[in-house]
Structure 1
C-alpha cells in the first residue's frame, strides 16, 4: 500500500522551500535588523518625538516668561504676586477664602 503524504507537508519536503522558510524566520526574529528590533526602535522614536514636542512647548513658555521679565513692570508684577514684596509706603493684605485653603485631614 502506498504511503499517503499530507498535501500541506509536501511543499516543505522541497529543500528550496525549506531554506526560504528558514531564511524568512531568521530575518524576522533572529537577525540584528529583525522586525522585532525595528518595532522597538520605532516605538522609541515615537516617544522621543513626543518628548521633543513637550520641550519645544516649554521653550516657548520660557521665552514668553523671559520677555515678560525683561521689563521693569514684569519684574515688579512677579515680585508682588509670587513673593509678596511691597514698596516702602504700602501695606499688603492677603485674603484667603475658605475654599482656597488646603483641607487638613487631622482631626
Structure 2
C-alpha cells in the first residue's frame, strides 16, 4: 500500500517539474488576478456598466414624464390648472376656498 501512495505522489508532482506547465500556471494566475486587464477588474467594470444602464433607463422614463408635463403646461387650460392648484391663483371675479382634509395635511408634512 505504501507503494501506491508513493506512485500517486509522483504522478501529481511529475507535471509540476515540466517548465511549460509551471509557466502556464503562473501566466493563468497572473492574468486572473494581477494584470491590469484581470478577470476581477472586468467583473467590477461589468457590474458598473449594468448599474449605469439601469440609471440610464430611469432617466429616460423621467424625461418622458417631464415631456408629458411640459406638453400639458403648454396649453392655456393646463397652465391655468397648474397655477390654480400649486399657487392658488384666481381670476378677478371669483373667490377661492381651500378645503384640506386631515389625511392630506399629514401627507404634506411627510413630504
- Within 1, Cα distance between the matches of 2:97 and 2:16? 87
TM-score, normalised on structure 2? 0.83
Aligned residues: 101
Within the candidate set 85, 91, 107, 1:87 is matched to 91
- Within 2, Cα distance between the matches of 1:68 and 1:97? 27
Deviation at 1:10, TM superposition (A): 2.5
- Does residue 1:26 correspond to 2:30, yes or no? yes
- Within 2, Cα distance between the matches of 1:15 and 1:89? 97
Q: Provide runs of 4+ in structure 1 moved above 4 Å.
A: none
Secondary structure in structure 2 of the residue aligned to 1:43: helix
Deviation at 1:72, TM superposition (A): 0.7
Equivalent residue, structure 1, for 2:67: 63
- Within 2, Cα distance between the matches of 1:45 and 1:70? 37
TM-score, normalised on structure 1? 0.86
CA RMSD of aligned residues (A): 1.8
Consecutive unaligned residues of structure 1, counting only runs of 5 or more, are: none
Deviations 1:78-101 (A, max 9, x none): 001111111111111111112222
Deviations 1:48-93 (A, max 9, x none): 1011101111110111111111111111010011111111111111
- Within 2, Cα distance between the matches of 1:99 and 1:66? 29
- Does residue 1:40 correspond to 2:44, yes or no? yes
Which shifted more, 6-15 or 20-29?
6-15
